[in-house]
Structure 1
Amino acid sequence: MNEGRLYYVMGPSGAGKDSVLGWVREHGIPHGVLCAHRYITRPAHAGGENHVALSDAEFQSRTHRGLFALTWQAHGLHYGIGREIEHWMGRGADVLVNGSRDAYTLACERFPAMQPVLITANRDVIAARLTARGRETTADIAARLARCDAYQAPLGAWVIHNNGSVAEAGATLLEAIYKSGAVAERDGNAKNKSGSRPC
């Protein structure tokens, strides 16, 4: 059985990364591709992505026992990707993870064959989204925009612009996964063995 591939999705605040991944999860995950939930020390009802909420003590306990493939900190919270993704890839599944730009170097060390994906948007679109959600001050928004301006996409990253509808960006991501050949190759192998495409 072929090893699955990791797709490491990242992007600046306001680019709509969580929304795009949410759309992909609901509207067209191709056969053989799984979306990993993040473990976060944030209440489940806090809004945003569908994550697994942990207390600080629970997070540290899991970290101590080596149950995370990746961990990082941001905005006073702990984030983790569970080691279950290693099992999924070992069973031939491709995996989408909601990553962080700050944890990208660590992710590369842990999964050197992964495919980076940067979801971004035009500066004015990001500024409008940050203003609309009302969680940051004007100074916070300016700092986020400056960080976005200075950021350079990693070499070989797929860059997806989410300036229009979430559906457009989500469909672009799915198309890129299909064109990468990993899913198509496994589907083709299954077809050769069974005579029909898996559903």
Structure 2
Amino acid sequence: MAGILVCVVGPSGAGKDTLIAGARKALEDDDHFVFPRRIVTRQPSEAEDHDTLPPERFATLREQGRFALSWDAHGLSYAIPGLVLDDLAGRRIAICNLSRRALGDARTRFPETRVVLVTAPRETLRSRILARGREDGVAVDRRLDREAAMTNLPVDCTISNTGAVETHVGEFVAFLRGLTADRAPEPFALGRFAS
């Protein structure tokens, strides 16, 4: 049986990285779960947990098929590292921050895909994005308008991230633990790099 790819999606400012970080901490001793860092052609920041590659290097690795998934959004390129394929072959559950634009490709490539939608009211999203300091109000409103058009996604779990972080991390962790029934991960191979 293959592993499960859990795609955490939602609009900018919904708190996807916060929930993923909380779940990573809560599940750090459970071999069922891996939390690969996505790769982005943007410098890291406190608002987004990722690894960075220059655009030219990213393009080379994409052409070489070194990513499990890749996509473009907002003038940047994003990818999930190829090591995820080893995790899925080992019957693990890989939790990734994914763009809704990449869901079709994810479902095609990985039949055992689950989708967690993280959302919040528009004004909450707007204030969180503005606090990052990367975009002005007009750009943020345009972004939110584009994202509002991406609705009607088939999802397996929805988290309205408006209350206490611990509460919503608990909801997320409960969903993830529910995926482990009858699933024993295979032992890590010696010398394998952690995702």
Q: 4+ runs of 1 displaced by more than 6 Å?
A: none
Identical aligned pairs, as a percentage? Answer: 32
SS of match in other structure, 2:19: helix
SS of match in other structure, 1:7: strand
TM-score calculated relative to the size of structure 2: 0.84
Q: Decide whether the 8 Å contact of 2:117 with 2:155 is kept in 1.
A: no
Query: What corresponds to 1:89 in structure 2?
Result: 88
**In 2, Cα distance between equivalents of 1:52 and 1:84:** 14
Q: Which amino acid aligns with 1:65?
A: Q
Q: Which has the higher helix share?
A: 1
CA distances 1:14-67 after superposition (whole Å, capped 9, x unpaired): 1111111122122334441111111111224x4333322111222122112111
SS of match in other structure, 1:3: coil
Query: What corresponds to 1:36 in structure 2?
Result: 36
Query: What corresponds to 2:168 in structure 1?
Result: 169
SS of match in other structure, 1:183: coil
Q: Decide whether the 8 Å contact of 2:47 with 2:132 is kept in 1.
A: no
TM superposition shift of 1:121: 0.9
Query: What corresponds to 2:75 in structure 1?
Result: 76
**In 2, Cα distance between equivalents of 1:27 and 1:156:** 23
The alpha-carbon distance between structure 1 residues 134 and 55, as it changes in their structure 2 partners (threshold 3 A), is closer
**In 1, Cα distance between equivalents of 2:145 and 2:59:** 32
**In 1, Cα distance between equivalents of 2:98 and 2:182:** 26
TM superposition shift of 1:153: 4.0
Q: Decide whether the 8 Å contact of 1:8 with 1:99 is kept in 2.
A: yes
Out of 182, 187, 192, the residue aligned to residue 185 of structure 1 is 182
Within 5 A, what are the aligned runs for 1:120-159?
Answer: 120-159=119-158
**In 2, Cα distance between equivalents of 1:145 and 1:75:** 12
Find out whether 1:53 has 2:28 as its counterpart. no
**RMSD of aligned C-alpha atoms?**
2.1
Aligned residues: 185
CA distances 1:85-109 after superposition (whole Å, capped 9, x unpaired): 1111111211101100111112121
Which has the larger Rg? Answer: 1
Q: Decide whether the 8 Å contact of 1:36 with 1:98 is kept in 2.
A: no
TM superposition shift of 1:75: 2.3
Gap runs ≥5 in structure 2: 187-195
Gap runs ≥5 in structure 1: 191-199
The alpha-carbon distance between structure 1 residues 27 and 128, as it changes in their structure 2 partners (threshold 3 A), is same
Q: Decide whether the 8 Å contact of 1:23 with 1:170 is kept in 2.
A: yes
Q: Decide whether the 8 Å contact of 1:22 with 1:49 is kept in 2.
A: no
TM-score calculated relative to the size of structure 1: 0.83
Q: Which amino acid aligns with 1:122?
A: P
Q: Which amino acid aligns with 1:49?
A: E
